[in-house]
């Protein structure tokens, strides 16, 4: 099977790409609006962009009618955000925040999560998350054609918060983290990272 992506419509291209790029880590992004309302939403087009400087990036698509999502609007306004890691215990709460809510709704409250003041940015951290990355906006790259456009948000990681029990020998203990990831198949499939194997580099 050979597929020319340029010939696909929006839906077909999306289904193909999320099935081909797997597993995808989840950026659970917390922001704060100009009105002080907290926002929390998951994004699975997420990657490490650079290690030094420490840069991460994730993609936010517009709504089907072309409107900007609250996450993007808040980041454009404040230039700051927090990425919270989703582990197995937080899967259901993360899924609650994937729903579409009005801008005046606090997703922390909807998911019964605890917002914690960050050290360096205005956006709150998810207290229940094992790892939080405080980020400052570096750049927004725009792709696509209206009404369905995509904004790839790049942020510099200013400070990382890691639960004490997960950090040893200057590294995060993967066997203890139990993060989850996204798969393809219509958007409802996830995977666990607790089933791992090791290979020595040649």
- Phi, psi angles (nearest 5°) of residue 106: -90, 110
What's the token pair of residue 58?
């994730």
Nearest to 88 by CA among 133, 130, 54, 34: 130
DSSP strand pairing (180-182 vs 54-61): unpaired
Helix (H, G, I), strand (E, B) or coil at 18: helix
Q: Across the chain, what does the average pLDDT equal?
A: 95
Helix, strand, coil percent values for the chain (each to nearest 5):
20, 40, 40
pLDDT per residue as tens digits for the range 125-146: 999 999 999 999 999 999 998 8
pLDDT per residue as tens digits for the range 33-86: 999 999 999 999 999 999 999 999 999 999 888 899 999 999 999 999 999 999
Nearest to 42 by CA among 114, 88, 93, 104: 93
How many Å apart are CA 147 and CA 150, to the nearest integer? 10
**DSSP run (H or E) holding 177:** helix 174-177
Domains of the chain and any CATH numbers: 5-192 (2.30.110.10)
Predicted local distance difference test score (pLDDT) of residue 65 = 86
Nearest to 66 by CA among 171, 147, 175: 147
Predicted local distance difference test score (pLDDT) of residue 187 = 62
Predicted local distance difference test score (pLDDT) of residue 73 = 97
Residue in the structure block whose two tokens are 């709504």: 63
pLDDT per residue as tens digits for the range 145-201: 888 899 999 999 999 999 999 999 999 999 999 999 999 876 689 999 989 899 999
């Amino acid at each position: 099977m050979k597929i020319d992506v340029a010939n696909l419509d929006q839906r077909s291209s999306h289904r193909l790409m999320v099935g081909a790029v797997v597993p995808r880590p989840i950026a659970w992004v917390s922001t704060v609006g100009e009105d002080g309302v907290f926002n929390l939403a998951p994004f699975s087009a997420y990657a490490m962009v650079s290690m030094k400087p420490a840069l991460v990036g994730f993609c936010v698509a517009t709504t089907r009618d072309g409107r900007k999502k609250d996450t993007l609007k808040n980041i454009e306004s404040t230039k700051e955000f927090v990425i919270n890691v989703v582990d197995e215990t937080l899967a259901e709460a993360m899924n609650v925040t994937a729903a579409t809510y009005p801008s005046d709704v606090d997703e922390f409250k909807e998911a019964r999560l605890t917002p914690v003041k960050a050290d360096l940015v205005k956006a709150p951290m998810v207290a229940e998350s094992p790892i939080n990355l405080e980020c400052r906006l570096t750049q927004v790259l725009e792709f696509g054609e209206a009404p369905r456009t995509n904004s790839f948000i790049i942020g510099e990681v200013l400070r990382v918060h890691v639960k004490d029990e997960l950090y040893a020998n200057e590294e995060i203990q993967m066997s203890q983290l139990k993060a989850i990831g996204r798969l393809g198949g219509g958007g409802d499939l996830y995977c666990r990272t607790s089933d791992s194997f090791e290979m020595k580099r040649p």
